[in-house]
Amino acid sequence: MYPHVWLLFTAIALVAWGTAGLLQKVSTNYISAQSALVWLIAGFAVVEPWLWRPSNSAYQLRDAAIAALSGGLSALAFWALLEAMESGGKAAIVVPLTSMYPLLVVLITPFLLHERFTLQQGAGIACGLGAIYLFAT
């Protein structure tokens, strides 16, 4: 792989999530959040075969269980996002606010994964918390 290929994938995620956020709001204007979630999952099922690469390495049941739990929590998060928009939340507020979830990861990883962050990254966390406050008021 190329040294900065992660930046390409990051850009793809940014464009895809940005477009998906808009389409999620549009869909909840016409169908229920539950129906939108079913169709969102159907979209995953259509795209996944194109992205899947078989692995030669074996994995433990525990690893698969962690991935399945992650998928279940993601489905719960998507459902809550869609319910928020169906309940009248504006996409311009709901999507960016729910997109602040990495703050939880940043705050928890020093304790669970023993990862550390720099002063500059700490300032970014503070800005993110400030953004949450500004969005909520």
Integer Cα distance of 99 and 131 in angstroms:
11
Which tokens go with 119?
């002063």
Q: What is the pLDDT along the chain (137 residues), one digit of tens a residue?
A: 577 888 888 888 888 988 998 899 999 999 999 999 999 999 988 998 888 877 777 778 888 899 899 989 999 999 999 999 999 998 888 888 888 887 788 788 889 888 888 889 889 888 888 887 787 77
Q: In terms of domains, do 19 and 55 share one? A: yes
Half-sphere exposure of residue 84, counting CA atoms within 13 Å on the CB side?
A: 18
Integer Cα distance of 96 and 25 in angstroms:
13
Sign of the four-CA dihedral 42, 47, 50, 51: negative
| Full-model pTM | 0.73
Residue 7 lies in a domain: yes
Q: In terms of domains, do 50 and 112 share one? A: no
Which residues form the domain of 108?
A: 100-137
Q: In terms of domains, do 15 and 57 share one? A: yes
Number of domains into which the chain is organized: 2
